[in-house]
Amino acid sequence: MKWKGGRKSSNVEDRRSTSGSGGRGAPSMQTMMIIWPLIKPLFKTKLGWAIIGLGAAAYFAGFNPLSLIGMGTPTGKITVANEAKDNEMSDFMATTLGYTETVWNELLPKYGIKYKEPKMVLYRGGTKSGCGFASSAMGPFYCPADQKVYLDQSFFEELAKNHSAPGDFAQAYVLAHEVGHHIQNLQGTLAKVQKAKQSWGGSSTKANALQVKVELQADCYAGVWAHHAHQKFGILERGDVEEALQAASSIGDDTLQKKAGRHVNPDGFTHGSAKQRMEWLRRGLNTGDMRACNTFK
């Protein structure tokens, strides 16, 4: 993807150096199983209890005590060797966000909606959001309460290594998808979906099916953005579209279920199958028309 020299968005909150200061949630069961042999002897003495108390306080304040013994890294820290790469990624994301701003500021009014630019929060490990605590384990997400996209850049390493979806345009697609949710928020779609889910009570199957429509439309909007961004800036290079489609496929619900060793269960889908995600992304790319993105028909 051609991006260097492009305008970087000013709507970026860089919390990478302060991530974790807002506290974090409880450790996972997997983490507890790892550390239990280490902390079990401490319960036998008063000093041990004091150490556990200090460690817990440090953990919930955002510092990983295990980093002192070589297990894990301190929250918000990054090695010098990776700092340049991390900063370049931040520049790339800020530039991509700038491209989304230019396209949607011009395009959305044609559909009768004034575009309000979202903020993008870059963080490491964890941070506060208007929708609760944001953790790197959650992956990128959009919070309608504060109209911000939250992004821990380590997700892209996960995307490349564990989901076989490397490439800068694959990363741009992820951000464009989250901006797609922002557009749905401006349209009132997210509020309507939330109201419908609440009216159904405990019907998770119906709620999941509706959420799939939301996610597929965000995929399509990402494609619409790419269509117009390429027309305006010539951002696409050979292989870029394939990168984005591979990313969409690799995070399809059926792909993730198979990877986890589970049977494919469409009732449990919340984002759509690999085929669906690729189809709707491609539809947006080919048409450049938001009207082609009505997944709710």
Asked if residue 15 is part of any domain, the answer here is: no
Residue 276 and residue 129 share a domain:
yes
Residue 110 and residue 198 share a domain:
yes
Residue 180 and residue 156 share a domain:
yes
Look at residue 59 and tell me whether its pLDDT is greater than 70: no
**What CA–CA distance (Å, rounded) separates 286 from 67?**
48
Residue 65 and residue 82 share a domain:
no
Residue 157 and residue 37 share a domain:
no
Asked if residue 147 is part of any domain, the answer here is: yes
Residue 66, C-beta contacts closer than 8 angstroms, at least 6 positions apart = 35, 72
Q: At what angle do helices 204-233 and 274-287 cross, to 10 degrees?
A: 40
Among 20-24, 54-58, 144-148, where is mean pLDDT lowest? 20-24
Name which of 57, 53, 24, 52 is nearest 39 in CA terms: 52
How many residues are listed for the chain in this entry?
Answer: 297
Residue 62 and residue 89 share a domain:
no
- Mean pLDDT value across the chain: 87
Mean pLDDT of the 141-145 span? 97
pTM: 0.80
Asked if residue 24 is part of any domain, the answer here is: no
Q: In which domain, by residue range, is 43 found?
A: 29-69
> 223, 283 in Cβ contact below 8 A?
yes
Asked if residue 21 is part of any domain, the answer here is: no
Domain's final residue, options 69, 93, 127: 69
Residue 29, C-beta contacts closer than 8 angstroms, at least 6 positions apart = none
The pLDDT confidence band at residue 201, using thresholds 50, 70 and 90, is confident
> 75, 36 in Cβ contact below 8 A?
no
Asked if residue 125 is part of any domain, the answer here is: yes
pLDDT digits (tens, 9 = 90+) for 204-260: 899 999 999 999 999 999 999 999 999 999 999 999 999 999 999 999 999 999 988
Number of compact structural domains in the chain? 2
The three-state secondary structure class of 294 is: coil
